[in-house]
Structure 1
């Protein structure tokens, strides 16, 4: 028989060898290294595998989004900004940033209340008082708000230099899962714990009812910034600060407001807000999530450029903060944007795994995997005592793990303990199927005829196929992205993949190997 005829007759074995070669390329070839391997949180490994938090160390936060939503709200010709102001005016906080209105049709839409501890009754009362009719009020936020929140969280993680972090929804979408490798839990918690709303306000005096009082006048909102630099230490200059520029379309307004409020006074202003807020010259306040982060006056040269109108031609300045940590917070919030809805961390879970503990898990997982392989090999050799039957069985079962590892490296699926458990389950179920095949083929003693071998193998394969279908059906709910089953999802996904690889590739290849070793004609 020629080489081509031999390969054609054993095409299932050729397919298995091809899959092993391809998987090896995915695992070890530099061309398939993770695209983010140059980042500060890159994982230095001998393979292209991506490890999850349990095997690399890091932080994981799982929490629901804060908010309640009214649906089919009749806007009555008002635009969304007006709806937000009207509803916010009926709330105790009166903050329009806690209300999100969106059009669904030309005349109606949704209204979300995303303030902390928001309840359905709060939103109902506000809508009733504002005169807006609605159909239903439910817990949770809209898909648009959920997606925007994920995008902002991803931007926050990237802007803070936390390379390798991921943000996604789990379950029915109400929970957000944040995973950041190689970083402290407190740092990640601080990053996502706040809405990140930053405003620049003028703190100045006004006359009301024949008395003088201080007020905050918002001058610059987050959307008014054109560019935001990274936090700077400052050296011998003004101290920790963030360089920023304002959109040209807003520059003249910002300039006029600073002049009108007295912040850009003749000769600049000296701010003593932190010492005595009731006896200070006009100040510039950086307000983050409703709290004053920093206060400072205006340099005489900057004030003069605003007074003569030159600043609006090149609208940039620096935001001085009290510390470099605050400068970093302001820079991240301005560059990433404000979260549409916050996270209810007290209703979720937060876990942290150290890098050393991750290395221990990785080593122990390797030991358990090898122990499973050798244990199975020992039992199989003891069961049959014939290397021609047992050796291909062990090699075939191990091949399934290699193919799965190659697939994980190709799609960059993060390996964690649940996935490792899936691999071990694949080894066990795979050998079970191979034992069924071997027992059926050798049930009536040695088999020399290929025709008899094919008949017995086909009978055994029906049993294997039925068992595989049962496993897939049983695991499908666990693998579903619509159920909030956490780590069980990875276990189910790779168990199903292992079963499919076995039925489509390795079991048929094992049959061809047995046929070649046990038959003469």
Structure 2
């Protein structure tokens, strides 16, 4: 029993790989993960678990830089990065410190407020007293990494299945954020990306000189738990349930206690002692009669509201901060959804320049379906072309048929891998599959030619000697291919990385699994002793 397994373990390994690929392709548990707000049928794109990228499913591609300016080679003079950011922000008129960042490791200071010009930033750096080497357009690597994670979070929270985000670099050295969302219209994707998503709570309160506003009483970082948007139970409108953090790591007051104290100081308990009191900020923002909470997104007030009398009383007693439960109310359910997405994903550290240097394109679902059809036809034609040439070359089914079956098993294994890791199939990946078929058959032809170069081979010892010679050639060719493709795989070159990844993976599967299995098949068919 063990002897046949030992002699044919390479063929058995190929069969195991084919079975594993079948499981990854068709087993429901390996299907695409369901994103929030999406049901399982929407996530599944067909009878297989394969996911299609923008080229084959249709959708929207957006490529845009992050707006900002960065001073490089900055001498911090022993100051902490937070102090450096504050000092530079003080020299920029109307720019909050959250839009200025300092990175000691990179020796860089950046401003991400799109209204600040390069000359204004240079003047602020000069006025702050920090020496620097140069000021360039763009932001730091750290900011790009944060932006990439935030945008991916926005896509996931919005339930846009299959969306991807990556950083790409142009020939001139400029960095762009590339966003691809299959199956979505351009307007929906642009609406999601154009907002930085900075959410905060302000307090507008009456004074002798009119309305004053206390800004950023609560910010995104102050929320501990964020619920999903829901319709209001008391009439029109919607809300997002949140929990304000009631602990502080540095020994100071927690955000919940600070918010509670601000509400009490601005007179909410007395103004809203009964539920009859109303917030009139929307009617007359410059002269409110009662304090109001302002829900602000990206600097614009999206809603203003008063406070329930029981909530105001609990804050006056000082007990509300123990739980920190709160509702961010909006006039429309869509606004509540947007706020929930922004809070969960976080705020973009810089604005995307979509309307300026950015570009966007849309592929319709019909066009994507046509691309899938054409790709399938191209693959079938490639297989028939290869099969025809192999039969013309050898005119012997026992040599040619295993060659074609082995090459197809290689592609099948790659499809199984793509399904297993949920890698979206693009035209470049399909091109990689076709390249794998070509290189794979080339290697199998080398094996067949070497084994049959000196006439029929009956001895397995002679076969093994000739096969080893052929395998050295194949191994050297595989190493050359891997070395040549590696830069395409690691560099940010968009679709070319998918082509390189699957070409390299196909070469490795070929060298480690399919070529040895083909050798064992030939050995069984061509030798008798």
Q: Which residue of 1 aligns with 2:212?
A: 215
Superposition pairs of residues 92-107 of structure 1, within 5 angstroms: 92-104=93-105
State the partner residue of 2:235.
237
Deviation at 1:250, TM superposition (A): 3.3
SS state at 2:492 partner: coil
Structure 2 residue corresponding to 1:124, chosen from 122, 125, 133: 122
Deviation for aligned residue 1:125: 1.9
Equivalent in the alignment of 1:501: 509
Distance 2:224 2:515 in 1: 61
Choose 108-117 or 496-505, whichever is displaced more.
108-117
Map 1:71-470; keep pairs closer than 5 Å: 71=72, 73-76=74-77, 78-104=79-105, 110-116=108-114, 120-170=118-168, 174-206=175-207, 212-218=209-215, 219-237=217-235, 239-248=237-246, 249-262=254-267, 265-267=270-272, 270-281=278-289, 282-299=291-308, 302-303=311-312, 306=315, 311-312=320-321, 315-345=324-354, 346-470=356-480
**Aligned-partner SS, 2:271:** coil
Shift in Å, 1:273: 3.6
**Distance verdict in 2 for CA 1:117–1:517, change over 3 Å:** farther
Change (3 A) 1:500 1:213: same
Residues 1:520 and 1:82: Cα distance change in structure 2 (over 3 Å): closer
Question: 1 CA distance for matches of 2:370 and 2:386?
Answer: 24
Give the secondary-structure state (helix, strand or coil) at the position aligned to 1:347.
Answer: coil
The whole-number CA distance in structure 2 between the counterparts of 1:26 and 1:303 is: 56
**Measured at CA, do residues 333 and 409 of structure 1 come closer, stay the same or move farther in structure 2, by a change above 3 Å?**
closer
CA distance in 2, matches of 1:244, 1:407: 40
Structure 1 residues 25 and 361: alpha-carbon distance in aligned structure 2, compared to 1, 3 A threshold:
same
Shift of 1:267: 4.7
Summarize the Cα distance change of 1:14–1:259 in structure 2 as closer, same or farther, 3 Å threshold. closer
> Runs ≥4 in structure 1, deviation > 6 angstroms?
none
What's the CA shift for 1:45?
3.5
Shift in alpha-carbon separation, 1:465–1:246, aligned structure 2, 3 A: closer
Give how far 1:129 is off: 0.9
Post-superposition shift, 1:182?
3.7
Would the aligned equivalents of 1:204 and 1:263 in 2 still touch at CA under 8 Å? no
Q: Please state how far the C-alpha of 1:418 moved relative to its aligned partner.
A: 1.3
How far residue 411 of structure 1 moved from its aligned partner, in angstroms, is 3.0
What is the deviation of 1:10?
4.2
CA contact (8 A) 1:199 1:288 kept: yes
How many Å apart are 1:206 and its aligned residue?
A: 4.2
Indicate how the Cα distance of structure 1 residues 335 and 19 shifts in structure 2: closer, same or farther if over 3 A, else same. closer
Q: In structure 2, how many angstroms separate the alpha carbons of the residues matched to 1:471 and 1:101?
A: 43
CA contact (8 A) 1:74 1:109 kept: yes
In structure 2, C-alpha distance between the alignment counterparts of 1:314 and 1:25, rounded to whole Å: 48
Output one character per residue of 1:438-465: Cα deviation in whole Å (capped at 9) or x when no partner.
3344345444444554454444444433
Number of equivalences:
510
SS at match of 1:278: coil
Gaps of 5+ in 1: none
Q: Deviations over 1:204-240 (max 9, x none)?
A: 3445xxxx34332113222233433322222543622
RMSD: 3.3
Corresponding residue SS for 2:50: coil
Separation of aligned partners in 2, 1:382 and 1:240? 71
For normalisation by structure 2, the TM-score amounts to 0.84
Gap runs ≥5 in structure 2: 247-253
